[in-house]
Amino acid sequence: MNQLTLRPGNLSAAIAPPERPTPQRWMRALNWLHLHLFSSWLSTATTLTLAYLLVRGLITVIDWGILLAVWSVPQGDSEACRAVQGLGACWAVIGEKYRFILFGTYPYAEQWRPTLSVALFIGLYALSGWRRMWRRELFLIWIVGLLAVIALMRGGMAGLSHVPTERWGGLPITLMLATVSLVAAFPLAIVVALGRRSDMPVIRWLCIAYVELIRGVPLISLLFVASVIFPLFLPEGIDFDKLVRAQIALILFAAAYLSEVIRGGLQSVGTGQYEAANALGLGYWRKMGLIVLPQALRRTIAPLVNTFIALFKDTSLVLIIGIFDLLSAAKTAIVEPAWQGFGVEVYLIVGAIYFAFCFAMSRYSRSLERHLKATEHA
């Protein structure tokens, strides 16, 4: 008589439940659609209505932006665009005005210099985003890069013709104002945030007064003061360039808002961290630099980047003091009678440029948050 021999492996296989077939991918997709888009009659009606509007909008955009669009015209002749105005886009205006939009009134023959400046800015951004470059040398690279941008734009050396700042405009001005403001405002914001938490009343009150004063007025007011009122208090014969004054106003504005974000991060660090640093015998600056600030900054990456993005877009307000940034140059480009009425195309391109930089900052901050979170749990 044969007897069934039950070994431990055979016993577990005998009592294990039968394997269920893995649902196909399309079945999972159908289940997801049913659960999230067609779970009730209201959900189904909303989904179908939005799908209809989306398709209609997409067809309209394709007709306007591609099928009926005018892509090129003879130089200065906008008759072909006038013929389809209201039906199709006139992308020819971009081909006619792109150099003015990007570089403003910078001398035409010298526009390779702002082009190289923009490339330098993008290169500095890329190097800063590369984590292997997070060394002290990166600070020196930034200093050299910014000096090179100023030398290129200004000229007057190494055989480059001098170009006054009144002729600067377009994308280099936007990148310069935003980048220098953030680079200079960040250390100032850290000092102000620490000052607001200082035990010394005078320092704390000064920092509070600075933050409340800057936050209490709009950026336009600061730019107006820097451009019109500040020169009235300077001694006769002394004057600062208008671009420099606008840059200082943006730095002070950005530092006030960034300091509050950093102060929120400082408050989130537990008292145990301070006590542990004190137990190690660390002084104030080493305690802040090695223990407290790294944790505070790590927790405030998202609001910091949010402030960076807001400031990047706020640079367009320099128009009120006569500085032609990217948006101002775009508005001026369509003042010419031949191209009036084609502002939508120009603003779409400028909006795409702003979106590209802001989206890159947003994606990088998310990547940095994930990296720091993984490092923290490693």
CA-CA-CA-CA torsion sign (213, 215, 216, 217): positive
3-state secondary structure of 325: strand
* C-alpha angle 329-332-335 in degrees, rounded to nearest 5: 160
3-state secondary structure of 170: strand
Structure tokens at 126: 């890329």
End-to-end CA distance of the chain, in Å?
A: 59
Structure tokens at 255: 């530092």
CA distance 264 to 287: 18
CA distance 99 to 127: 27
Q: In the Cβ-directed half-sphere of 159, how many Cα atoms lie within 13 Å?
A: 0
Residue type at position 177 = L
What pTM value is reported for the model?
Answer: 0.81
CA distance 128 to 179: 12
CA distance 103 to 115: 8
Q: Please provide the size of the chain in residues.
A: 378
CA distance 217 to 223: 11
Structure tokens at 330: 């775009």
CA distance 36 to 173: 46
Judge residue 23's burial from the number of C-beta atoms within 10 Å of its C-beta, 0-12 exposed, 13-18 middle, 19 or more buried: exposed
pLDDT at 4 (0 to 100) = 47
pLDDT by residue for the chain (378 residues), tens digit each? 444 455 555 555 555 565 555 567 788 888 888 888 888 899 999 999 999 999 999 999 999 999 988 888 887 777 888 888 888 888 988 888 889 999 988 998 899 999 999 999 999 988 888 877 778 888 899 899 999 999 999 888 888 899 998 889 889 999 999 999 988 999 999 999 999 988 889 999 999 999 999 989 898 888 888 888 887 877 777 777 888 888 999 999 999 999 999 999 998 888 888 888 888 888 888 888 888 888 888 888 888 888 899 988 988 888 888 888 888 888 888 888 888 888 889 999 999 999 999 999 888 888 888 877 776 666
CA distance 78 to 69: 13
CA distance 305 to 366: 10
What DSSP state is assigned to residue 70?
B
Structure tokens at 47: 């989904």
The CATH class for the domain spanning 97-377 reads mainly alpha
CA distance 333 to 347: 11
